[in-house]
Structure 1
Amino acid sequence: MALTIMRRIKFCAGHRLLHHGGKCENFHGHNYVADFFVQGETQDDVGRVIDFSDLKRRVKGWIDENWDHGFLIHQDDENARQALGMVTPSRVFVLPYNPTAENMAKYLLEEMSPVALDGSGARAVRVRIWETDESFAEASLDPVSGNTEMYSEMAMGE
């Protein structure tokens, strides 16, 4: 039996979507919320999969150091690199793809979480990124194949 816990992390970041064709191609920011769903097959002596404070330290620590109050950009976005390079100080995190909510959830699940949770006995199985109060995207591990599945719920009119 797998037990699942969830920890919510809030952070602020800016981004722009390369080749979006609409207003999201402009630099802008969001007050994001990231929900980390973490599972473990065993419990410690206290009965926990992982202590909530340890989970927070691991995932929020990474977000604080890399994404919070920074700009997330696509690795091919030379215009963004040049523009943000002129701003000092400037925190820029380069992603291998567009920083959509879907791709942010995917990156946190596939790239960040395995490293952040290494040695904890727990693993992230789902990450949900709330871009607004009405819109989120979610990446989850397919329990059968181990592949990442994407789910996105976007508000009407955005």
Structure 2
Amino acid sequence: MNKIVINRKLPIWKLILGSLALVVGVISLFSSFKGFLLIGMGVFLLLTEGSEFDFKNGFYRKTKSILGVSLGSWKPIPKIEYVSVFKTNENTTLRSRTAETNVSKEIIKLNLFYDTNKKIEAYSTYKKDDAFAKAKQIASFLNIDILDATERESKWL
């Protein structure tokens, strides 16, 4: 296998709600214009981001996928120096008419570094084990090291 596809998993509630919105939207198209709104909501809920690597031909792409169909432009893979797995916070702003708040959630990201400080953001997840499994898979194809930066003291694996 010379190809790796890495997509963020959809929560089950998004999968159910998005699929339902798509189905009801398509049915509603025959009776009213509101079907387009429901289809848009379904697509928004089912959209996932990820990366795809074709090591045989030396290309990668950042993807946006919906129900298994991935879109994105292919670019040549540069000379990757190492894979970094690190912890950061993902911030979401919630607004209503009278209030606004920021919600912060810890997330694990996987980046591929090349040319000393340039990076390809390959994957993000909430599970540390999942990130390291993907990092090991990529590192084995490219024969490079993994930097574990999830703790205060970074270490090479």
TM-score by length of 1: 0.26
Structure with bigger RCO (C-alpha 8 Å, 6+ apart): 1
Whichever of the two has the greater Rg, that structure is 2
TM-score by length of 2: 0.26
Q: Say which structure is richer in strand.
A: 2
